């Protein structure tokens, strides 16, 4: 052993090992607790608020996340623009097309969809 260093006592080593194992056990326990919490939330169909963190220290079950409705396109043949409720469910470009014509376009689209499904 180099000069000036002393041999550590067995009790010092034991206390270091005991402290290390206590910290390691606490970390493992917290990891298991978080995993179980996430699994239970997933099984119940819920999720935590905001980036997987708790809000105000509490977990909030919100049920299943809302699925966004599919994009509805303008019914005018050949138009690929999205329809908007403000224009009567047609695109901005076709907002002045008569409603009777729009209804005919919708009926034709429904008939085509039924034919394709059958």
Q: How far is Cα 73 from Cα 35, in angstroms, rounded to an integer?
A: 42
Beta bridge partners of 102: none
- 3-state DSSP assignment of residue 41: helix
The per-residue pLDDT for 105 is 95
103 CB-near residues (< 8 Å, 6+ apart): none
Mean pLDDT of 5-34: 86
pLDDT in tens, 29-57: 999 988 888 787 777 766 554 445 555 55
The model scores a pTM over 0.85: no
The residue extents of the domains of the chain are: 7-66, 68-118
Q: How many helices and strands in the chain, by DSSP H and E?
A: 2, 0
What string of DSSP letters covers 65-93?
A: PPPPPPPPBPSSTT--SBPBGGGTSB-ST
Q: Which residue has the higher pLDDT, 115 or 4?
A: 115
Q: Tell me: the pLDDT tens digits for 68-87?
A: 888 999 999 999 999 998 98
110 — pLDDT class (breaks 50, 70, 90): very high
């Amino acid at each position: 052993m180099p000069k000036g260093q002393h041999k550590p006592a067995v009790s010092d080593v034991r206390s270091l090992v005991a402290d290390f194992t206590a910290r390691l056990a606490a970390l493992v326990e917290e990891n298991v607790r978080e995993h179980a919490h996430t699994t239970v939330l997933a099984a119940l169909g819920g999720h935590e608020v905001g980036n997987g963190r708790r809000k105000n220290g509490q977990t909030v079950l919100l049920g299943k996340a809302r699925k966004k409705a599919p994009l509805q396109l303008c019914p005018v043949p050949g138009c690929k623009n999205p329809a908007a409720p403000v224009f009567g469910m047609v695109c901005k470009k076709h907002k002045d097309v008569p409603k009777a014509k729009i209804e005919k376009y919708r009926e034709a689209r429904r008939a085509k969809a039924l034919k394709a499904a059958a």
